[in-house]
Chains A and B, each alone.
Chain A
Amino acid sequence: AQKVTQAQTEISVVEKEDVTLDCVYETRDTTYYLFWYKQPPSGELVFLIRRNSFDEQNEISGRYSWNFQKSTSSFNFTITASQVVDSAVYFCALRLVFGTGTRLLVSP
C-alpha cells in the first residue's frame, strides 16, 4: 500500500521568511511519481511540481525548490522569501494518494 505523511499540520511565518514543508512517503514500487499541489482558500487544487523516482536531481524554480531523497523517502518543498499570497494548504501526493496537507499562513 502507498502512504504519504505530512506531519506538519500548520505552519505560521512572517512574510519574507523561508519555509520548508515536509513530506514522507511509503511505497514498494521501484518507479513512482511524487507531486506537490497547492489549495488556496478558493478551494481549487493547483499543480506545483512533479518528480519521478529515477531522477533525484533537486531543482529550483523561482521561489520554489524541492529536495527529493530516496534514501529517506522524503520529498520536501521549500518556499523562499514567502509572500502573503503563498497562504494555502499544500498537499504532497504519491501518484493518486494524497497526504493530509500542511496549512501555511504567511502574515505581513
Chain B
Amino acid sequence: DAGVTQSPTHLIKTRGQQVTLRCSPKSGHDTVSWYQQALGQGPQFIFQYYEEEERQRGNFPDRFSGHQFPNYSSELNVNALLLGDSALYLCASSPGWTSGGRVQYFGPGTRLTVT
C-alpha cells in the first residue's frame, strides 16, 4: 500500500519564477492538504482540496494556488517566487473531509530553494 508521494524531492528556482509541486495521496484517500514548513518552524496550512474543490484556505496570498484531479492527486502552484517561499512543502492526505478531524498522512515533502 503506497503512502503519500511527492515530486520533485528538491527544487531550486530563481526569484520571480513559477513552480509546480505534485502530490499523490495514500490509496483510499480523497482529501489533500498542503503545508509550508520553514526551517525550524511548524507546518503552516496552505489549503485543502476535496472533490476537486478548495475547501479551506490558510493565510497565504493568491500567488499560492492549487488543483485536485479526478484521481485525487493534487498540484501546488506558486507564482512570482520570493526568497521567503524557500521551505519544505508537505502534502498530506486523509479519507473523507471533516474540516480537520481526520488523521492526516504526510508525504516526505519537496524542498524548495529560491535564490
Contacts and interface: CB of A to CB of B under 8 A. Distances in A.
Contact of B104 (A42, A47, A99, A101): A47
B88 interface: yes
A28 to B, nearest CB: 14
A50 B101 CA distance: 9
B100 A33 contact: yes
Which range contains the number of B residues in contact with the other chain?
A: 20 to 34
Contacts of A91: 42-43
Interface residues of A, number: 21
Contacts, number: 47
Contact of A98 (B42, B99, B105): B42
Contacts of A44: 106-109
Contacts of A98: 35, 42-45
B103 interface: yes
B44 A43 contact: no
A43 B43 contact: no
A44 B35 CA distance: 12
